[in-house]
Amino acid sequence: MDPKTEARDFLTSRRAKITPAEAGLTSYGTRQVPGLRREEVATLAGVSVDYYNRMERGNLAGVSDGVLRAVAGAARVAFNWGLARVKAVTAQRAAEVTYGLTGDELTPSISWSLYSLRKDWNAAKGTVAPCWAECSKEAFNTGLDRLAQALKDWDDSRKGKRKGKAVGFPRFRSKRKSGLSVRFTTGALRCEEIPNPRYLSCALRKLKRLSRTVSRRHGPDRRTG
């Protein structure tokens, strides 16, 4: 399947699966299309209807700088929020140890897994990022995913489970130094039993193509899995 057809099929199929109610929209009258209308998706994404129509036709060139900055900023907000929580709890527990506290007397630790970070983010996003609904949830997920991976790399490195140069503790992402990139995925993917192992590598490649990384420098990068 060529990239334009793949992009068109992806966008139209996802648009058809989302109801107005799920998107927080009010539906009036009889709808002639399943899911959301193109203009509704464009409004939710913060882009023009013409721009979205071009995307649905497979024209992914020329990613809007404003949109890219918005989604990259959302990823940075989620990353820094999660890192601040981890550092605060870690520092608090370390201080309590110096006071002679042990075991259950210590402040409860928090999980660094992506699942836990997502769960905690969903509970706090209304306060941390009041405008979260105006940006794709995948943008925030990008930041949380990067944080979970950075913390895992650091933890594995200090325990000797990771080869190569020692990995330092993650640092806060700054607007000036952070690259403008964000990763979009289709969500949870599952690979059913493959009757012939010969096709396993082919199936895995197809799953990887379902994700996209967009950067200011390169635009849509279909080489990134």
Which of these ranges, 60-64, 104-108, 215-219, has the smallest mean pLDDT? Answer: 215-219
Mean pLDDT for the chain? 76
pLDDT of residue 1: 58
pLDDT at residue 188 is higher than 50: no
Which of these ranges, 129-133, 173-177, 183-187, has the smallest mean pLDDT? Answer: 183-187
Region 174-180 average pLDDT? 73
Contact, 72 vs 139, CB < 8 A?
yes
pLDDT of residue 164: 87
| Residue 52 DSSP one-character state | H
Chain centre to alpha carbon of residue 216: 17
pLDDT at residue 218 is higher than 70: no
142-153: per-residue pLDDT in tens? 889 999 999 999
Region 133-149 average pLDDT? 84
pLDDT at residue 9 is higher than 50: yes
77-94: per-residue pLDDT in tens? 999 999 999 999 999 999
Region 15-42 average pLDDT? 76
Residue type, 155: D
The sign one gets for the Cα dihedral 38, 43, 44, 47 is positive
- Rounded Cα gap, residues 194 and 84, in angstroms: 43
Region 27-53 average pLDDT? 75
pLDDT of residue 222: 42
Instruction: Name the more confident of 37 and 168.
Output: 168
pLDDT of residue 190: 44
Instruction: Name the more confident of 172 and 39.
Output: 172
Burial state string for 132-164 with b = 16 or more CB within 10 A and e = fewer than 16: beebbbbbbbbbbbbbbebbbebeebeeeeeee
Instruction: Name the more confident of 215 and 68.
Output: 68
Domain extent listing, the chain: 1-61, 65-179
pLDDT at residue 99 is higher than 80: yes
Region 28-37 average pLDDT? 76
Whether pTM > 0.85 for this model: the answer is: no
